[in-house]
Structure 1
């Protein structure tokens, strides 16, 4: 490009000198300047053509495949500009890494979904059978209940991690759903998790609203916030409140003493990542007595029909 514009400048200077010294008439000088400019434009366009084709290839690129096979270093023309060759080679390597990452992500979510859920199902079935065994004493029943509670928590954790692992393809069905109905549907499982602990769960519904998205993602997010509230509580009541466009999870009762502050954090980290991923702002507050309040806002919610 520098050579093209340098030659153009030199030719225009020569033509102007010819006109200045009356070697050529003014009309001829103007015609020559136009011809030189047009030829320079065609030459520059020809040199820029590989960059334009590369930009178009990147624009049409599908992240699930390399999509830049025509720009492999060994397939570029021999006279390709060095900068264009370097750019094409870098983009080709980047596209292949992205395609490999997407393939590993799909393999992981598929395998993990099967390999993690299947043992949990077996554990749940075995725990249910043990719970029906009349020969078990009180200690055995308490142990079975702890197994069932831990299994349910593990299921919620696996579900949350699989949702977060699907970066490029959510694999989730989106629909319009009433958040109150989803929360009420999840309450029995949450109460089962709290069995044996002096913690009660309440649902307050001053409002009802509809949200467009994945009900499973919403349920997992509420699960994590409720688990976090239960981890911070020695007793009392965990309250889930549904307000217009807002869901609040708070604790009423005895809070965890200061030496138990490390009993939470992982659930909140997962909840924050889900809220950032699906653009549902999460606000955390600490009130008197070290009682924590989690508030989720849904900007695109609509009131539920009566």
Structure 2
């Protein structure tokens, strides 16, 4: 192609759609991050309180109770040394047993085989805390019944902690509600932008007046800035589309005059080889310009009035285009092979597919001085490969940029693949490219809605 469609309006629209997607992401982020922070806060507080209760329980059981039982045992031994008839401790929460000279008759059977120490042991279906200590020929068993103490701990420890926890939950919930109310205008703004259909509605129809009346000053400033941006963007898009459409239409008249004059000149037979070559060059350039105008009109068309789709048989279309492009830019040292693995039908506008494959074929012919151009038609994919000059990895990253050319001496302005990329993005097709320097390039176009309608055809050369 000689030159390409101006991408100013598409760049602005892409920027606006990027902003819209960010609004949607921020909407989800603000809403869900706030909930996430609230739940995380509740979880951490709950874990902290549970850890505190568990730690308190362990401290009470392993430290305070142990020290208390050791103190009780020491007190008993002191009394026992003074009076061997001193009875074992027997209080509301503490029961003692004394075995003298290994006489365990007064000791519960569950304790008789236990060794001195501090632990829990089974007794009448429960597991009280037991402390056993030996002194000379006597063994003292102290059994601490913590049920009553546990009840007191529950009422004076767990219940207050639970109330504190409930209050913390309540305060955290109120904080969440206040935070949500504070950012609700931003969330509403994000929802409006997210739900707005930019393809079927103009930017001027994005009405934020209702939100402006309820929003605070900061959000109102954001809404005003967004309104100014949409107004300016709408003007840019209208200007770009009007220019492209009008310029494309106006170019048709001089091209028609040039084409008519060229047809008259080509009827003469007395041209020298150099003159005939110049006429051929004019004819090829004229074809490029006509294709370019079709592309401009296609890309400038509004989404509200899309091109009519039809089932296009890719096999026949590619055969025709290969013949046309070969006559226009091909050379005798390049052969073409078409491998038809199936009959492939694509629901699309034939003009769009014509522009797409013409640009790909022109690129393949232009960068292949000698060798083979292979076209493979598969179930949902068309692959065009050549044995041309190929590209380095650095060049592959720039190949879809406007006006980029692999070779500076190559004819054209480096817009063919740019147009191909934009058409694929426009119609939801996938474009893949592989290339190796001095070995060739392979470009695949994947059509998700393609339909296989027949079996394999013979390979055409």
1:292 is aligned to 2:441: yes
Contact 1:235–1:255 (Cα < 8 Å) also in 2: no
Change in Cα spacing, 1:93 to 1:146, as seen in structure 2 (3 Å) is same
Residue 113 of structure 1 corresponds to 248
Residue 277 of structure 1 corresponds to 426
Matches within 5 A, 1:104-253: 104-166=239-301, 168=303, 171-194=306-329, 198-252=333-387
Q: How far is 1:219 from its partner?
A: 1.5
Q: How far is 1:167 from its partner?
A: 7.0
- Post-superposition Cα deviations, 1:134-176, rounded to whole Å, max 9, x if no partner, equal 2322222111111111222233334334444457557422232
State the SS of the aligned residue for 2:368.
coil
Q: Can you give the 5+ residue segments of structure 2 that lack an aligned partner in the other structure?
A: 1-176, 393-405, 456-461
- TM normalised by structure 1 equals 0.67
State the SS of the aligned residue for 1:66.
helix
Residue 228 of structure 2 corresponds to 93
Matches within 5 A, 1:9-158: 59=195, 63-64=201-202, 66-67=204-205, 71=209, 81-158=216-293
Of structures 1 and 2, the one with the larger relative CO (CA 8 A, separation 6+) is 2
Query: 1 CA distance for matches of 2:283 and 2:417?
Result: 23
Q: How far is 1:189 from its partner?
A: 2.9
Contact 2:391–2:436 (Cα < 8 Å) also in 1: no
Contact 1:180–1:208 (Cα < 8 Å) also in 2: yes
Contact 1:280–1:298 (Cα < 8 Å) also in 2: yes
Query: 2 CA distance for matches of 1:257 and 1:90?
Result: 45
Contact 1:61–1:67 (Cα < 8 Å) also in 2: no
Q: Can you give the 5+ residue segments of structure 1 that lack an aligned partner in the other structure?
A: 1-40
Structure with the higher fraction of residues in helix conformation: 1
Deviates more, 1:197-206 or 1:145-154: 197-206
Which protein shows a greater Rg?
Answer: 2
Contact 2:382–2:445 (Cα < 8 Å) also in 1: yes
1:301 is aligned to 2:439: no
CA RMSD of superposed structures (Å):
4.0
- Post-superposition Cα deviations, 1:65-122, rounded to whole Å, max 9, x if no partner, equal 51357839xxx76x97423432332232133123223322431232122123333333
Contact 1:272–1:282 (Cα < 8 Å) also in 2: yes
Contact 2:376–2:383 (Cα < 8 Å) also in 1: yes
Query: 1 CA distance for matches of 2:247 and 2:278?
Result: 27
Contact 1:248–1:295 (Cα < 8 Å) also in 2: yes
Deviates more, 1:104-113 or 1:218-227: 104-113
Residue 125 of structure 2 corresponds to none
State the SS of the aligned residue for 1:132.
coil
Change in Cα spacing, 1:61 to 1:137, as seen in structure 2 (3 Å) is closer
Contact 1:64–1:98 (Cα < 8 Å) also in 2: no
Query: 1 CA distance for matches of 2:263 and 2:417?
Result: 30
Change in Cα spacing, 1:155 to 1:238, as seen in structure 2 (3 Å) is farther
Residue 402 of structure 2 corresponds to none
Change in Cα spacing, 1:157 to 1:80, as seen in structure 2 (3 Å) is closer
Contact 1:145–1:195 (Cα < 8 Å) also in 2: no
State the SS of the aligned residue for 2:268.
coil
Contact 1:284–1:295 (Cα < 8 Å) also in 2: yes
